[in-house]
Amino acid sequence: MFPSCSLLLGTLRGISIIVPLPSSSCTGVPRNVNMEKLQTGYLFPEIGMRESEHTQKYPHARLIRLGIGDTTEPIPDIITSAMAEHVYALSTVKGYRGYGAEQGNMELRMAIAETFYRNLGVKGNEVFVSDGAQCDISRLQQLLLGSNVSMAVQDPSFPAYIDCGVIVGRAGNFQEKTGTYDNIVYMKCGPENNFFPDLSTTSRTDIIFFCSPNNPTGYAASRQQLQQLVDFAKANGSMIIYDSAYAAYVTDDSPRSIFEIPGAKEVAIEISSFSKFAGFTGVRLGWTVVPEELLYSNGFPVMKDYNRIVCTCFNGASSVAQAGGLACLSKEGYQALTTVVDYYKGNAEILVDAFSSLGLKAYGGKNAPYVWVHFPGMSSWDVFNEILEKTHIVTIPGRGFGPGGEGYVRVSGFGHRERILEASMRLKNLYK
């Protein structure tokens, strides 16, 4: 009645070892073919597993984690006090609140518009509060746009863009040789093109994922580059999904939002987050701006469908996190967070110096918490392993961000200063 029910134990000398199961053990539900296409595990849990293995191998080594970009510094009091106040109120008849608006509290939506998009014409009702950028990437990718759209990503890029695209069924087969999926356009970004894709040779796609300041390269696109991107999207009728999760780290005059570029509201959605700006990686809060001006090819407003998705498939971010978010955007909260962001940037600078002292090219670090280190001609997994073995420092192999990351590792500037200084010392001795 059903397709054969059997268990793949593994492969031995290229031959699959399959054990038949009693047919009553399996349901008749076919596995999602898109899930089958996904290569190995998701990058970050994978790195976590390597960390654990290393710790088991060297139980006495003092591991320094500069892999997963996870914040480490305390959240300023003013913000946690606001959250605690909200929490205590939930135990009172007067202060108890149940469901909030699916799109987020209007006060917070307005504060986000006012803080991050002042004079850019973004209105509170265009801001949709979420439980984090990663969740919004999958909501946008999967639910809003569906499987019948084509997509482009920067290469290297944050792996969720591609993985979610594969899950929803936009990708063809994975090609081992190139390390790419068919039907996805990879826009190479490296020092050779100033970390900005050569748009003159880039095929048209419906969606273009673009992250600036970039994860993993740490590069913030210039105003001129972003204008090129918006013009390209306009000329091609493409939609940009712009990830500005690291905007708070911009030091120079690079735009912090795609909406600083004239015309962007007609072609772009922006996803952003409190995670790296406010240390909310565990608290969970983010947002997406969907401009009223953004229309599908038939003239239907994208915002209307996005609102429907949010109302149907999401019930709003935690009210506690939202209370914290509002405190982040108060004058004192914002000021206090700037100090924390500067601290992480100081860390990144120390790491840039450490790698530079080895004669290596270290990019990023200036407008982002990440340092992107070039090991020309080497395999990034080899470099990852070598650094881990010799220095007990966890990084991320660039290859995990796509084929364009080969020969690089990403090093995170999130960490206590003394650990970063210790890491810097160990790194300086890497080749001694």
Which string of DSSP letters, residue by residue, matches 194-216? TTS--GGGPPP-SEEEEESS-TT
Contacts of 421 (CB under 8 A, 6+ apart): 350
Among 93, 203, 331, 432, binds its own copies (CB under 8 A): 93
- Nearest C-alpha neighbor of 153 from the set 243, 237, 230: 243
Q: Is 15 in the site for its own copies (CB under 8 A)?
A: no
Region from 35-43, 179-187, 224-232, 404-412 binding its own copies, contact rule CB under 8 A: 35-43
Q: What tokens appear for 129 in the block?
A: 């509060």
Region from 181-189, 221-229, 297-305, 348-356 binding its own copies, contact rule CB under 8 A: 297-305
What's the CA gap between 198 and 185, in Å, rounded? 12
Among 52, 123, 146, 332, binds its own copies (CB under 8 A): 146
Extended strands (E) in 159-201: 174-175, 180-181, 184-188
Q: What tokens appear for 113 in the block?
A: 């518009």
Among 91, 119, 200, 201, binds its own copies (CB under 8 A): 91
H-type helices in 32-76, by residue range? 33-37, 43-57
Among 106, 320, 358, 378, binds its own copies (CB under 8 A): 320
Q: Is 199 in the site for its own copies (CB under 8 A)?
A: no
**What residues from 46 to 85 belong to the interface with its own copies (CB under 8 A)?**
68, 70-77, 79-80, 83-84
Q: Which residues pair with 185 in a beta bridge?
A: 152
CB of 187 to its own copies, least distance (A): 18
- Nearest C-alpha neighbor of 238 from the set 197, 207, 210: 207
Burial of 339 (0-12, 13-18, 19+ CB in 10 A): exposed
The smaller minimum CB distance to its own copies, of residues 280 and 372, is found at 280
Decide: 206 and 150 in contact? Cβ < 8 Å: yes
Q: Is 121 in the site for its own copies (CB under 8 A)?
A: no
Determine phi and psi for 116, rounding to 5 degrees: -100, -15
Among 191, 237, 262, 346, binds its own copies (CB under 8 A): 237
Region from 5-13, 115-123, 364-372, 423-431 binding its own copies, contact rule CB under 8 A: 5-13
Q: Is 29 in the site for its own copies (CB under 8 A)?
A: yes
The smaller minimum CB distance to its own copies, of residues 105 and 254, is found at 105
Among 294, 327, 329, 354, binds its own copies (CB under 8 A): 294
CB of 145 to its own copies, least distance (A): 6
CB of 390 to its own copies, least distance (A): 26
331: helix, strand or coil: helix
CB of 388 to its own copies, least distance (A): 20
